[in-house]
Structure 1
Amino acid sequence: MTEAEQAIGTPDAGKAEEGAGTSAAGSGEAAEGKGKRRVGVLLAVAALAYLIDLTSKLAVVAKLEHHAPVEVIGSWLQFEVIRNRGAAFGFGEAMTIVFTVIAVGVIVVIARLARKLHSLPWAIALGLLLGGAFGNLTDRIFRAPGDFQGAVVDFIAPSHFAVFNLADSAIVCGGFLIVILSFHGLDPDGTVHKD
């Protein structure tokens, strides 16, 4: 429709306005669908991080526990199974139940954020956090002594650094990505703000 037809109010103008309304409703539906797709990405990343962590822990416990450390890159990087009752990287061993409660809290916060998630980078970051939290929480629930006080299996042992696992790595990478996204002003709902 030309500008002249719009100015004089031809019958096609009403149809154009209806189409614009339909288009606005369609874009709202598209935004909702986009949010759902982002939740799917979050869940896929979380499941992948969780499965990789779980598989690695099962393998190292079966093959490496009660054995000498395995050199991966000389003395710079070794695989050595250690049972950690504390937080990531071996901190706070006397506070196992506190870290279990924190992990459950992180999972609840991520579930609440997922409702308004429209950003792919945030979906990836939250998925890494969720998968890592579930990985270590599984150890705390099911490994000895149990009752939410189980020891987490750590096995990646760089020289002059704490021993950790892939769940710890996922948590740190997800947290680092969230810091970068926040620094750049990108919110989980996909909006960008400048301070």
Structure 2
Amino acid sequence: MQAARGTPVGGDDGDLDRGPDPSEQPEDDMAVTRRRRRTVWPIFALVAAAMLAADQYTKHLAIEHLTGQPDKPLIGDLLQLRLTFNPGAAFSMGTELTAAITVLAIVASVVVVVLSLRLRDRLWAVSLGLLLAGITGNLFDRLFREPQAFHGHVVDFLMLPHWPIFNVADICINVGAALVLIQVFRGVGLDGSRTTADADLGEDSPS
């Protein structure tokens, strides 16, 4: 009789009709997102802090040990130490635009920090961490070194054959920029999502 009236025998119709609660899925996704951020953002902060400290410490050593000294070979003729003070950008470019470069560096630092809030991918975290360390390392020199604020000269001391003298901050900027390009070409977003055509084809392909 129960079956004739449309009521399942030995079961509850609510149990059979009940599906997954749609409200649960967004909560799960948000939890995963928060967990990724807690894991990835410290990588960004640690890389930025460690490389900024390395840049400033090596500049301190360069000033202390290379002032008034002749070139010192570090790896034979391949890499030598020569202390110079650069009023321009990386690799001695834009020496007449120190104040403008300083303002651009401040803006770039803010942009990198804002982008870091969206980080969910480890390689992106390393990339932006290196960029921030490099930008702020040279920015510190322009703000606080002689001759005056916003016109300070950047400490450079690493010299390769036929190459402008540079420092650890310059290395960070170039390596960070190279990693950013790798991520862009791979189609990986800041949140780790794939944006390549292959990913789109994978989503459209029949299961």
TM over 0.5: yes
- 1:17 and 2:24 aligned: no
Alignment of 1:44-123 (within 5 A): 44-123=46-125
Question: TM-score, normalization: structure 2?
Answer: 0.83
Equivalent pairs, count: 187
Q: Distance in 2 between matches of 1:33 and 1:63?
A: 46
* Amino acid of the structure 2 residue aligned with 1:107: S
Tell me the equivalent position of 2:171: 169
Change in Cα spacing, 1:51 to 1:9, as seen in structure 2 (3 Å) is farther
Q: Which residue of 1 aligns with 2:145?
A: 143
Q: Which residue of 1 aligns with 2:205?
A: none
Displacement after TM superposition at 1:183 (Å): 0.8
In structure 2, what is the Cα distance between the partners aligned to 1:30 and 1:181?
Answer: 22
**Equivalent AA in structure 1 for residue 15 of structure 2:** P
Which residue number in structure 2 is paired with residue 5 of structure 1?
A: none
RMSD over equivalenced CA pairs, Å: 2.0
Listed one character per residue, the Cα deviations across residues 32-51 of structure 1 (whole Å, up to 9, x for unaligned) are: 22123322111111001100
| AA aligned opposite 2:20 | E
After TM superposition, give the deviation of residue 9 of structure 1 in Å. Answer: 4.8
Separation of aligned partners in 2, 1:123 and 1:12: 46
What is the aligned partner in structure 1 of residue 6 from structure 2? none
Structure 1 segments, 4+ long, off by >6 Å, are none
1:13: Cα distance to partner?
A: 6.6
Q: Tell me, which stretches of 5 or more residues in structure 2 are unaligned? A: 1-11, 198-207
Match of 1:124 in 2: 126
Give 3-state SS (helix, strand or coil) of 1:86's partner. coil
- Identity %, equivalent residues: 32
3-state SS of paired residue (1:93): coil
Structure 1: any 5+ residue segments left out of the alignment?
Answer: 1-7
Kindly name which structure, 1 or 2, has the bigger radius of gyration based on alpha carbons.
Answer: 2
> CA separation in 2, counterparts of 1:12 and 1:128?
55
- In 1, the alpha carbon distance for the partners of 2:75 and 2:156 equals 18
